[in-house]
Amino acid sequence: MDQLDILVDGYVNYLLVEKGLSEKTIEAYSRDLAEYISFIKRSKINNVSDKDATVILKHLIELRDVGLAARSRARHLVTLRGFYKFLVHEKVLKSDPTKIIDLPKSGLRLPDVLSIGDIKTLISMPDVKTPRGLRDCAMLELLYAAGLRVSELINIKLQSVNIEAGFVRVYGKGSKERVVPIGLYAKEKIDNYIKHGRSIVLKNQASKYLFVARAGKPMTRQGFWKLIKKYGVKAGIGKVITPHSLRHSFASHLIEGGADLRSVQIMLGHVDISSTQIYTHVAHEHLRKMHEKFHPRG
């Protein structure tokens, strides 16, 4: 293997082990990367660089010229963004050249939004007569109630949930902290899990995490991915369900119900909020009222 192939192999392994992506998704990424590496080698380029923006643009232009649709070219760019971001993270490169490249017009299709009925069915699938079922039910409910990323969900600390006030504190991208309302349903499910399930799952061990798996450790992304997939199949929902499906459904249902975009952005963590100190009592109250008014399970 030459250096380029080693880097690609490392990235594909990262997608498989760290990200827990499906085989089909990894196959699609691998095909896109293979085309890009082939283009690089045909261009007499021996390795990747911080200055590859021009190379990437030429590759996208070549894909356009052979008739590839904008949506497919956008998928290629997303693949390359992930690849270069990985190389920066691994300190192979100092900067990401894809940051200055926009998606081809028409962009990517948004993820499927689950109906409110599908959400209700999905959340009812765990067997709440068991401790792990109580945990799984609370996780699904909270994921949808607060629109969390899966990494945020599995890393929530026990002390970060205020059931009485109806808020959860999470740490998003860049370790930015935000406070999100969780609604009555999630409050009930989390409280039930803490009182009747968590200590049994822990087997009398100590853990700072709200949702625990073996030896008091948090559940892995892959572990939760498998859970949500299992419950989706059990619910008979004819869509591929991922943790992001519930996050996207959360935002879509709020906006469709009439919530203002600014409030939804804050709850999703898309706004640069570095500390909860900027949240005044009025801001907290406004978010709580918006959540109760517009969220289907508020």
Same domain, 192 and 242: yes
88 lies in the same domain as 165: no
User: Could you list the residue range(s) of the whole structural domain that residue 30 is in?
Assistant: 3-100
Same domain, 190 and 282: yes
- 135 & 263 share domain: yes
pLDDT value of residue 259: 67
Same domain, 61 and 123: no
CA triple 107-112-117, angle to 5 deg = 155
So which residues are the catalytic ones?
149, 173, 244, 247, 270, 279
| 96 plus 122 within the same structural domain | no
Q: Are residues 164 and 43 in the same domain?
A: no
What is the model's pLDDT at position 283? 40
Domain closes at, from 55, 75, 100: 100
Angle of helix 221-235 relative to helix 131-146, nearest 10 degrees? 90
Residue 115: exposure state from Cβ atoms within 10 A (0-12, 13-18, ≥19): middle
- Asked whether residue 107 is assigned to any structural domain, the reply reads no
- The answer to whether residue 106 is domain-embedded is no
> What's the structural domain count of the chain?
2
In a domain, 110, yes or no: no
Whether residue 47 is found in the same domain as residue 88: yes
Is 149 in a helix, a strand, or coil? coil
Residue 238 counted as domain residue: yes
201 & 284 share domain:
yes
pLDDT digit string (tens) for the chain, length 298 residues: 578 889 989 998 888 887 777 788 889 899 999 999 999 999 888 889 888 888 888 898 888 888 888 888 888 988 999 999 999 999 999 999 888 777 665 544 445 678 899 999 999 999 999 999 999 999 999 999 998 989 999 999 999 999 999 999 988 776 778 888 998 999 999 999 999 999 999 987 899 999 999 888 899 988 998 999 999 999 998 887 888 888 888 877 876 676 666 677 788 776 432 222 222 233 445 556 667 877 887 7
Whether residue 57 is found in the same domain as residue 126: no
- Say yes or no: 136 and 276 in one domain: yes
In a domain, 111, yes or no: no
Q: Note the pTM of the prediction, 2 decimals.
A: 0.58
Take residue 283 and report the two structure tokens written for it. Answer: 């801001």
The CATH code of the domain that includes 282 is: 1.10.443.10
